[in-house]
Structure 1
């Protein structure tokens, strides 16, 4: 064990401690997968990342992303939070204002403008209607009638999200799913606010298997929802989604659709700096 630089950052909120926390271990060379997974389990946060030297010449750094129970090829708030931590530790942004992150899903461009970071979403690797039997199960877990689901789609881009669209943000906020029935499901729910509202959609993310079963703010899910709702004409090319409201958070996810590119952004705030022995 040796001291390694350690950070905790808050992602997707202008107010510190109102977004989604991320733990970041810097200079993680020499740690085994098992050691990384054990530490991620110990932090008990939605995700913990480990920064490593890149293997791709275009990348500024490489990251490995872990939940409390598994490694993910990609996740949204860990991407933005890791970029913030890397910069705070002395990373060189360069004149173009873009960081290139290497992860298991490939190379992810990240735009930086002050405390606002935005990643270009990787392509969906499963993007199709959800089969009827599974949709019936999802409705049961959410405690709603199947007819309450306006539309649905697989939105897999690392995490195995199933996108569920309801008629209103109020319906999304009213959901009280049973965490004991989630099992292996990863469910993202979205509903619109009335026109002229400060935010255009409310989003919630539920998943089984970890101690944290509702995610405060979720970049990967919002990336998939943006692709789906843009393709189906439900959402404009630029909008803001709220998430974490039920949990007392103030998550704000900024979506910009530029042709085929989906950019998912928000504020990132450094909260804790120190070292950890690993």
Structure 2
């Protein structure tokens, strides 16, 4: 049956330089196997499937698939799917609530762009020495380059290391064959005069995605870590995707109640129907 479809570019003000997400806007009746097959076929970081909510608190329910499996939560698919849902339903609203496997996620229009409220992390704390050693070896760096490290898992399983500079992050040449099941990122600071505070790269071989062009869930978990530890004390911007020929611009903004909001540009670049 024909189903409405949108492919939304997320996190870049320049079309085709962000992270695309494929959105099936009426996924009622699709089984798990079909959803996974579609996600492998689109071959994007994520493909999402919009379903009726199971609670009156949510506007819709979302299932999120990578080529390698289903995720309980992901950031850029949350923003892209909210954008597509609002556009498809011709709804003018500054707030929507998404239901997904990790729970309810609030999305707001803030400063002209959509932002999602970072969900609670499932796992925090420093990365265990053995696993950290594997990451360091796979990244081809020394332990001395690692300024800090942390589990920042809000569903996908993320861990992150912090390097001194953005250039060190950009220069990484990871051997992901050494960490085939990892969900790991690296962040480093840009010079003080830069428009972006940090450079981020995220690697998800465990989900069938060698490198993600722009990752909202990783930035959410890292933002919570940086604010919690006092490494940052005000909103900041992250650039991501340079090594993949992309130009993501991600905003991380704290509220007075401690909520961290992750936002950026969303734009539908392909729309039509799927014949599933």
Q: Is the 8 A contact 1:169 1:192 kept in 2?
A: yes
The equivalent position to 1:263 in structure 2, one of 258, 261, 264, is 261
Q: CA deviation at 1:277?
A: 1.1
Quick one: distance in 2 between partners of 1:91 and 1:182?
Answer: 44
Q: 1:66 maps to which residue?
A: 65
Q: CA deviation at 1:55?
A: 1.0
Q: TM-score, normalised by structure 2?
A: 0.97
Q: Is the 8 A contact 1:161 1:221 kept in 2?
A: yes
Q: Is the 8 A contact 1:27 1:52 kept in 2?
A: yes
Q: CA deviation at 1:212?
A: 3.1
Q: 1:184 maps to which residue?
A: 181
Quick one: distance in 1 between partners of 2:166 and 2:110?
Answer: 30
Q: TM-score, normalised by structure 1?
A: 0.96
Alignment of structure 1 residues 78-97 onto 2, 5 Å: 78-94=77-93, 97=94
Quick one: distance in 1 between partners of 2:111 and 2:229?
Answer: 33
Q: 2:7 maps to which residue?
A: 8
Q: Is the 8 A contact 2:139 2:175 kept in 1?
A: yes
Q: How many residues align?
A: 275
Q: Is the 8 A contact 1:44 1:211 kept in 2?
A: no
Q: Is the 8 A contact 2:169 2:200 kept in 1?
A: yes
Q: CA deviation at 1:91?
A: 4.7
What RMSD in Å do the two structures reach over aligned CA positions?
1.2
Q: 2:161 maps to which residue?
A: 164
The equivalent position to 1:216 in structure 2, one of 213, 216, 239, is 213
Q: Structure 1 residues 176, 29: CA separation in 2 closer, same or farther (over 3 Å shift)?
A: same
The equivalent position to 2:133 in structure 1, one of 118, 125, 136, is 136
Quick one: distance in 2 between partners of 1:76 and 1:69?
Answer: 17
Q: CA deviation at 1:231?
A: 1.2
4+ aligned runs moved over 4 Å, structure 1 = none
Quick one: distance in 1 between partners of 2:48 and 2:178?
Answer: 28
Q: Is the 8 A contact 2:191 2:197 kept in 1?
A: yes
SS in structure 2 of the partner of residue 231 of structure 1: helix
Q: 1:52 maps to which residue?
A: 51
In structure 1, the gaps of 5 or more residues are none
Once the two structures are superposed, residues 67-124 of structure 1 have per-residue CA deviations (whole angstroms, 9 ceiling, x without a partner) of 0011111000000000011011015344xx1011111111111012586110001000
